[in-house]
């Protein structure tokens, strides 16, 4: 990109005067669509000096004249106020805008590419242009990516392009951050001032502090995390929202076929904030099991089939659960060892219930491939209740019959005896007793953790692996 000298000089003058008038960082926003236009208007309303940039002359004119380029409640009023107060300008000249500001928000489109991947063409182009501007700029500059992108994009694409085009160093001359956008179209302005959360992943402390300063007025509880985690948060949110919509609609189709009012059902469902709408069941761990979930999922899937109602999401739950168990088997098998010891075999801690425990299924898979199994579970009781459960499992899961028949013989007295007699230890329950057994195991004994024993993962311990972390 060719930059005329006047652009640079004009920008430098504008910036110097702005900084002297206002201690808040000035912000350029690249991309004046649904995300960028709202950022421009709302941040101007908080007192920031904003420069909007778009390749579309129509959008630039609209923002420059204080008119909303999109249909969005209150946006036109905020833009016209920002322009009237001299806090909002707009231009097609990205380089001049970057030169005139301290921070650049990047909110260009990231559409779906023909192969289904995320098309980063606009992100890459804009990052390169930001770098070209930074080559001419003195002082630290912050680039904040606000687009929804695959994890890795901020560091491997934006930062790399900016560094290559500017010849400058991340963390020294410029910082990058990922700050996902969670606003809902239609109520985006209201959401801006009362965000569901504010998440920031930054390349360095200085950048983190600058981005935190920008959002300080609307959120005092900013959640800081690594850049890839912040990128992933945005994808996870949207996949979750889509999952909820698809789930609600499947329940609706099933209810309709049964002549039940789906809203009557779901109105009750959503009142349960202890188990239904809560963090419960959402942290990655091992497969679901027990005497209820697998049985009920099978029954609902069967009911839908009988009624000729197509419920692909619910029908797939058993499949994805089985894949998770198969993944555990793969992790263990790739160690190439024979004696596999299990800490915990009941379907969850603090119960003696073995029915449809996913650990039993895993044990059956490994036994079928020649593994020698051993188990320690402080809650197992060899009594009539267990005999009843063995009968249940033989009926519900015939593949596990052999393991169930031999469960008493393969049980050892305590955790120390288990870890002493196996080549890999598989932990199914996150209990203090099992944590202690893992910490004190003999050096190098491989661990496959199905339960997330430790909040902080053991550092540089190659013998430890989690199933989904």
Q: Which residues bind ligand NAD (CB under 6 A)?
A: 30-36, 53-56, 59, 94, 107-110, 122, 125-126, 146-148, 181, 185
Q: In the complex with ligand NAD, which residue's Cβ is closer, 44 or 94?
A: 94
Cβ neighbours of residue 25 closer than 8 Å, sequence gap 6 or more: 48, 101, 102, 103, 142, 210, 213, 214
Question: Taking the complex as a whole, how short is the minimal distance between the CB of residue 42 and ligand NAD, in angstroms?
Answer: 14
Long-range contact pairs involving 46-49 (C-beta distance under 8 Å, separation at least 24): 46/217, 46/218, 47/22, 47/87, 48/22, 48/24, 48/87, 48/214, 49/18, 49/22, 49/24, 49/87, 49/101
Question: Taking the complex as a whole, how short is the minimal distance between the CB of residue 275 and ligand NAD, in angstroms?
Answer: 29
Question: Taking the complex as a whole, how short is the minimal distance between the CB of residue 146 and ligand NAD, in angstroms?
Answer: 6
Question: Taking the complex as a whole, how short is the minimal distance between the CB of residue 129 and ligand NAD, in angstroms?
Answer: 6
User: How is residue 293 written in tokens?
Assistant: 């979930």
Catalytic residue among 118, 292, 411, 422: 292
Whose CB is nearest to ligand NAD?
Answer: 33
Q: In the complex with ligand NAD, which residue's Cβ is closer, 219 or 352?
A: 219
Asked if 292 is an active-site residue, the reply is: yes
Q: In the complex with ligand NAD, which residue's Cβ is closer, 21 or 243?
A: 243
Q: Is the alpha carbon torsion for 123, 129, 132, 138 positive or negative? A: negative
Q: In the complex with ligand NAD, which residue's Cβ is closer, 122 or 434?
A: 122
Question: Taking the complex as a whole, how short is the minimal distance between the CB of residue 32 and ligand NAD, in angstroms?
Answer: 5
Residues that are catalytic? 292
């Amino acid at each position: 990109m060719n930059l005329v000298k006047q652009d640079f000089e004009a920008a430098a003058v504008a910036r110097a005067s702005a900084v002297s008038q206002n201690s808040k960082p000035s912000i350029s926003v690249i991309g004046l669509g649904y995300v960028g236009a709202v950022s421009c208007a709302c941040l101007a309303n908080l007192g920031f000096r904003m420069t909007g940039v778009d390749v579309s002359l129509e959008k630039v004119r609209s923002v420059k004249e204080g008119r909303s380029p999109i249909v969005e409640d209150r946006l036109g009023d905020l833009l016209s106020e920002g322009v009237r107060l001299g806090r909002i300008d707009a231009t097609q000249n990205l380089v001049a805008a970057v030169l005139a500001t301290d921070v650049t928000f990047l909110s260009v489109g990231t559409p779906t590419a023909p192969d289904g991947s995320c098309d980063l063409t606009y992100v890459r182009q804009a990052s390169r242009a930001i770098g070209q501007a930074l080559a001419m700029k003195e002082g630290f500059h912050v680039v904040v990516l606000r687009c929804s992108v695959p994890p890795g994009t901020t560091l491997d694409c934006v930062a790399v392009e900016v560094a290559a085009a500017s010849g400058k160093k991340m963390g020294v001359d410029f910082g990058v951050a990922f700050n996902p956008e969670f606003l809902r179209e239609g109520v985006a302005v209201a959401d801006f001032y009362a965000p569901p959360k504010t998440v920031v992943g930054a390349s360095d402390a200085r950048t983190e502090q600058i981005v935190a300063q920008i959002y300080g007025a609307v959120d005092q509880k900013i959640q800081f995390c690594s850049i890839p985690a912040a990128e992933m948060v945005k994808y996870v949110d949207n996949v979750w929202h889509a999952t909820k919509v698809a789930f609600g609609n499947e329940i609706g189709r099933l209810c309709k076929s049964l002549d039940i009012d789906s809203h009557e059902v779901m109105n009750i469902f959503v009142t349960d904030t202890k188990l239904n709408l809560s963090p419960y069941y959402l942290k990655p761990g091992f497969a679901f099991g027990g005497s209820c979930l697998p049985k009920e999922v099978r029954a609902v899937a069967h009911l839908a089939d009988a009624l000729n109602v197509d419920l692909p999401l619910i029908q797939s739950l058993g499949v994805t659960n089985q894949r998770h168990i198969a993944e555990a088997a793969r992790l263990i098998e790739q160690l190439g060892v024979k004696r596999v010891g299990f800490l915990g075999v009941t379907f969850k801690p603090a119960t003696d219930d073995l029915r449809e425990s996913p650990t039993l299924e895993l044990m059956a898979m490994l036994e079928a491939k020649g593994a020698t199994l051993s188990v320690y579970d402080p809650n197992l009781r060899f009594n009539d209740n267990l005999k009843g459960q063995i009968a249940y499992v033989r009926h519900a899961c015939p593949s596990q019959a052999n393991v169930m028949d031999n469960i008493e013989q393969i049980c050892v007295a305590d955790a120390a005896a288990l870890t002493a007699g196996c080549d890999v230890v598989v932990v199914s329950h996150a209990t203090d007793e099992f944590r202690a057994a893992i910490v004190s195991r003999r050096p190098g004994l491989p661990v496959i953790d199905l339960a997330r024993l430790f909040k902080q993962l053991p550092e540089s311990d190659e013998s430890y692996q989690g199933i989904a972390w």
